[in-house]
Structures are given as C-alpha cells and as structure tokens.
Amino acid sequence: MKSDNEKLKNKHILHRDFFFFATHHGIEQSFCLSFCGNRGYAALTTTLFTVGISLIILGGLSFFALQEVTINRNFIKSVEAENAAESGIEDMVFRVVSGKQTSAQETLGLGKATTTITITSAGSEKTIRSEGKQGAYQKNLETKLTVDAEGVSFFYGIQVGSGGLTMGNNAVINGNVYSNGNIIGGNGVIITGDAVAAGAGNRIEGVTIGNSTLGSGRASSFVNTTIHGSFCPNAYCIVENPPQINLPIPAETIQEWKDAGSEGGICVPPQCDSSGNYKLTGGASGSLGPKRITGNLELDNNAILTVLGTIFVEGNIVLSNNCTIRLDSGYGSLSGTIITNGTISISNNCIFQGSGNENSYIMLLSDKNALSSEVITVDNNSDSVILYASQGRIKFSNGSIAKEATGYGITLDNNAEIFYESGLTNLNFSSGSGGGYSIQSWKEVE
C-alpha cells in the first residue's frame, strides 16, 4: 500500500495535468473559434466577389452579344436595301437596253425591301435612279446611259447615184442636188440651190437652178438650162467633169441596222400574224422595236405606229390612208430607221414624226437590189421623211413631199417637192430608244 505522501503527490500531479490540459485546450478552442470565424467570412467574401465579377462579365458579354445582334440585323437590312436598289436598277437597265416598255417611275419589291426606280431623259442620255428601302435604311444608286449612234450626213436635198435624176413638170427641189448621173427636167422645174451632174458626159437639161442672186451648176454640158437668173452659158454654168461621190450610208452600216432590229427578236403572234406580217388598221395603234418582221409591215386607215427601236422588215412596207409613224420620245435628238429588204410604198397623206426634238427624223430605207426598178414610191402629200435606196430607184408623184431623198436613181413626177433642211448635214441614227446604249456611270448617290 502506498503511503499518504505518495497519494498526495499523485493527486497533485493529476490536478496539475488536468489543469494544464484544460488550460491548454481552452486556448486552442479560443484560437480556433477566432481563426475559423475569420476564415469563413473571407471565403464568403471571395465567393460573393467571384459571383459579382462573373455576373459583370456575363452582363458585359450579353450586352455585346445583343449589340452584335442589333448590328447584324441593321447590316442585313442595309444589305437588303442595297440589293433592292441594285435589282431595281439592273432590271430597268435591261428593259431600256432591250427596248421593253418602261414608265417614268416604277416600284419593285424584293423580300421585305422595296425600291423605287425613276427614269429621266435629256437628249440622248438617260439617267436611271433606284432608291432601295428596308425599314429605316435606304440605298440610292444611279446610272447614266447614252445612246450609241451612227452619224450620217445628208448634204443635199437630193443625192443620186449613176441612175440620175428625172424631174417632171413643176417639180421642185428646195436645196442642192448632187447626181452621179444626168439631171433632166421638164417645164417649170426648179432647183433652188446648186446642182452637180458628176462624171464624164453627164448633163443638166431643162432645169432652172437658183434665182437672180444665187445658184450654180456643174456638168459636162448644159441644155436648155437657166442658172443664176441667166440662160446658159454664163459664168455660173460651169462646164467640167466633177468627181462622182459615194452615197452617204455604207453597206456595213445598213447591215448593222438590220442586226440591231434582229436583236429585238422575230415578231410573232399576237404582234404579228402567223405569216409574220405586222398590220395596223382602222385607227389602231401599236408600239414596236427593235424587232425583225419576217413578212410585211402594213399601216392604213389612221393607224398609228410608235417606233421604239430599229425595225427590220424582210418583206415589203405598205403605208397608206392617213397613217402615222412616229419615234418614241426616248430617241431624244436622235433619228430612227425602218429598213426593208423589199419595196416601200407610201400614199395618201401618211405622216412621219420624230421624237419631238427638232433634230429627230424617221428614215425609211430599202436595201432591195434592183437598179432599174422603183423600190420606193411616194404618192399624194406624204411628207416629213428621209428616204434612202442605194440599190434602186425612188419615185415621187402627185404632190408628194420628203425632207431628203437618196437613191441610185430618182424620179420626181409633176408637182412633187423635196424640202431639204440644213440640220440633215449632221444626223445621228440610233438603233432605238431602247437599244445601242453605253453605260457612262454606275454609282451610289445621296
């Protein structure tokens, strides 16, 4: 058994250890409570901060994403407006160049976008403007077209090839005459300007040329002719052999005009009948060109034809009884052509009108090769037209009138007249108000 002293010692040690443990354990708990509490607060703050930053970044990304969506939508609308403008202007250019019917203003739709196209003309130039719209967005495009034209100069009221000029009683030519053959007249025949019978042996006979103050003649010989108010010979009856000159329109240009008409396609029903003939009668009106007619072109009884482009007729042209042929206003200052491989017959007050511009005319041209035959005949007061037949003869009768005539040979019957105009020295012939265009500019505008 242990002594009392040992028991007390052991008890003292036990109390000391317990006190040390309790004291030490209390400090650990106090330190843990303090440290662990601070560590939890820091973790919460970090979490909240991280969440906040994440939300800010997410919000920023969402904002930029929405902005990008808005920008893309606006860009798409802008592109749609531009596409509409492009489509509108391309459509109208095609229609103008191909000679199809157009209006001064048209509206087209493309998806949700629309475009308004306007056409303005100034002389031989057309301006096409297309305004494409999609919502608040608008794109404006503009192009300028000019007509390709072939320049032809008619320096004489009458120009004749080797077939020569024959004039019946009281026939009158108001202008100059140049003939590669004889110039033969009857009673009361007058040429108000100058006259030339070119080539060796060719003569001027039975004609009054000019008046007491003007006029001259040139030929190998003069018979029964008065020039400058005096009977030949005089100083104005010039005996010489003037050079023969070519007629003003070369074969290549004539072929180009035929090709221009053919580019518009062949006339088929319902415009032409099953035989390829184009006919208007009884006050009917129509528009045509550029076009190729495989049959005949016939107008009578107050029919009205508006020419939109060059018309090429493989058959004959027959015009009668108050018919009217006029150029579309789109020709501007340019002139237009109706050309045939056959004959042309004009009678009974048919009227020919240009575009409305004082420098615009219609020319009827026969390319029929028949040097001894009349390929163009004009009768009874038909006027205001240029006639051309380089491989055949032209005949005027019964008071018929023309602006200018050029042919291998020409006959003016009694009382026929030619009224030459000075503007014919510089004519530009177009394939049409709807053909032969060049694009001068194509750009975006305000």
Q: What is the pLDDT of residues 167-181, one digit of tens each?
A: 999 999 998 999 999
Which helix (H) or strand (E) segment holds residue 158: the answer is: strand 158-167
Do 205 and 252 lie in one domain? The reply is no
Average confidence score pLDDT of the chain? 84
Beta bridge partners of 118: 105, 129
The 10s digit of each residue's pLDDT in 63-118 is 666 666 666 676 677 778 888 888 888 888 877 766 566 778 888 887 888 999 99
Rounded Cα distance between 390 and 395, Å, is 13
Closest C-alpha among 123, 117, 78, 124 to residue 94: 117
Structure tokens at 292: 């190729």
Rounded Cα distance between 226 and 210, Å, is 8
Specify the pLDDT at position 51: 75
Do 408 and 268 lie in one domain? The reply is yes
Closest C-alpha among 123, 152, 185, 149 to residue 404: 152
Which helix (H) or strand (E) segment holds residue 131: the answer is: strand 125-134
Do 272 and 380 lie in one domain? The reply is yes
- Name the 3-class secondary structure at 188: coil
Residues spanned by the domain of 112: 43-148+431-446
Rounded Cα distance between 159 and 152, Å, is 13
Specify the pLDDT at position 37: 53
Rounded Cα distance between 433 and 226, Å, is 46
Do 376 and 395 lie in one domain? The reply is yes
C-alpha distances out from residue 252 to 218, 263, 291, 314, 343, Å = 31, 16, 19, 18, 20
Structure tokens at 12: 């003292």
Do 192 and 307 lie in one domain? The reply is no
Rounded Cα distance between 444 and 430, Å, is 29
Rounded Cα distance between 349 and 321, Å, is 6
Query: Could you give the number of structural domains in the chain?
Result: 3
Number of H helices, E strands in the chain: 2, 37
> For residue 33, is it within any domain?
no
Do 436 and 337 lie in one domain? The reply is no
Total-model pTM: 0.70
Specify the pLDDT at position 433: 44
> For residue 5, is it within any domain?
no
Specify the pLDDT at position 111: 80
Specify whether the CB–CB gap between 137 and 78 falls below 8 A: yes
> For residue 25, is it within any domain?
no
Do 444 and 338 lie in one domain? The reply is no
Q: How many CB atoms lie within 10 A of CB 404?
A: 23
Rounded Cα distance between 133 and 79, Å, is 10
Give the contacts of 170 (CB within 8 A, at least 6 positions apart): 186, 187, 188, 189, 414, 415
Beta bridge partners of 410: 165, 394
Closest C-alpha among 392, 432, 388, 424 to residue 408: 392
> For residue 253, is it within any domain?
yes
Do 166 and 226 lie in one domain? The reply is no
> For residue 34, is it within any domain?
no
Closest C-alpha among 228, 176, 223, 231 to residue 204: 223
Rounded Cα distance between 289 and 312, Å, is 9
Structure tokens at 37: 């509490």
Q: What is the CATH number of the domain that holds 104?
A: 3.30.1300
Specify whether the CB–CB gap between 363 and 378 falls below 8 A: no
Q: Give me the count of residues in the chain.
A: 446
Do 213 and 336 lie in one domain? The reply is no
pLDDT in tens, the chain (446 residues): 445 555 545 554 444 554 444 444 444 444 454 545 556 667 777 777 787 787 777 766 666 666 666 666 766 777 788 888 888 888 888 777 665 667 788 888 878 889 999 988 665 678 899 999 988 888 899 988 876 667 787 888 899 999 999 999 999 999 899 999 999 999 999 999 999 999 999 999 999 999 989 999 999 999 999 999 999 999 999 999 999 999 999 999 999 999 989 988 999 999 999 999 999 999 999 999 999 999 999 999 999 999 998 999 999 999 999 999 999 988 888 899 999 999 999 998 899 999 998 888 999 999 999 999 999 999 877 666 899 999 999 999 887 888 889 999 999 999 888 888 655 665 777 654 444 567 778 888 88
Do 227 and 304 lie in one domain? The reply is no
Rounded Cα distance between 282 and 288, Å, is 18
Do 61 and 158 lie in one domain? The reply is no
Pairing of strands 113-122, 105-110: antiparallel
Rounded Cα distance between 308 and 96, Å, is 10
Structure tokens at 373: 């035959």
Give the contacts of 81 (CB within 8 A, at least 6 positions apart): 113, 132, 133, 134, 137, 138, 139
Do 171 and 259 lie in one domain? The reply is yes
Type of residue numbered 63: F
> For residue 14, is it within any domain?
no
Specify the pLDDT at position 137: 83
Specify the pLDDT at position 329: 87
DSSP string, 357-405: STT--EEEEE---EEEEEEEEEESS--S-EEEEEEEEEEEETT-EESEE
